[in-house]
Amino acid sequence: MSNRTSMTEFLLLGFSEVQELQILHFVVFLVVYLAALVGNLLIITAIALDRHLHTPMYIFLLNLSILDIGSISVTVPKSMANSLMNTRSISYAGCVTQVFFLPFLVGADFFLLTIMAYDRYVAICQPLHYERVMNRGVCVQMAAGAWASGVLISALHTGNTFAVSFCRCNKVDQFFCEVPLLLKLTCSDSYLTETGLILFSVGLLLSCFVLIIVSYVQIIRTVLRIPSEQGRHKAFSTCLPHLTVLYLLVCTGGFAYLKPLSSTMSRLDLVVAVFYSVLPPVTNPIIYSMRNKEIKASLWKLTGWWLFTKD
Q: Which tens digits make up the pLDDT trace of 45-76?
A: 888 888 888 889 889 999 999 999 999 999 99
The pLDDT, as a whole number, for residue 5 is: 45
Domain containing residue 107: CATH number:
1.20.1070.10
The pLDDT, as a whole number, for residue 118 is: 92
The pLDDT, as a whole number, for residue 265 is: 55
The pLDDT, as a whole number, for residue 220 is: 87
Q: Do the beta carbons of residue 44 and residue 65 sit within 8 Å?
A: yes
CA nearest to 121, candidates 13, 245, 217: 217
pTM: 0.86
The pLDDT, as a whole number, for residue 193 is: 65
Question: Residue 203's CB: how many other CB atoms inside 10 A?
Answer: 10
Question: Residue 196's CB: how many other CB atoms inside 10 A?
Answer: 12
Q: Which tens digits make up the pLDDT trace of 40-50?
A: 998 998 888 88
The pLDDT, as a whole number, for residue 206 is: 83
Secondary structure E strands in the chain = 9-12, 89-91, 171-172
Cα–Cα distance, 281 to 105 (Å, whole number) = 11
The pLDDT, as a whole number, for residue 2 is: 43
CA nearest to 173, candidates 33, 52, 273: 273
Cα–Cα distance, 172 to 185 (Å, whole number) = 8
CA angle 220, 222, 227 (to 5 degrees): 110
Q: Which tens digits make up the pLDDT trace of 276-297?
A: 788 888 988 888 776 677 777 7
Q: Which domain holds residue 285?
A: 4-310
The pLDDT, as a whole number, for residue 254 is: 67
Cα–Cα distance, 151 to 169 (Å, whole number) = 29
DSSP state of 190: -
Count of the separate structural domains present in the chain: 1
Is 80 exceeded by the pLDDT of residue 257?
Answer: no
Q: State how far the alpha carbon of 181 is from the alpha carbons of 11, 17, 90, 131, 247, in Å.
A: 12, 21, 15, 46, 26
Q: Which tens digits make up the pLDDT trace of 170-199?
A: 888 888 888 878 877 777 665 566 667 777
The pLDDT, as a whole number, for residue 255 is: 64
The pLDDT, as a whole number, for residue 60 is: 92
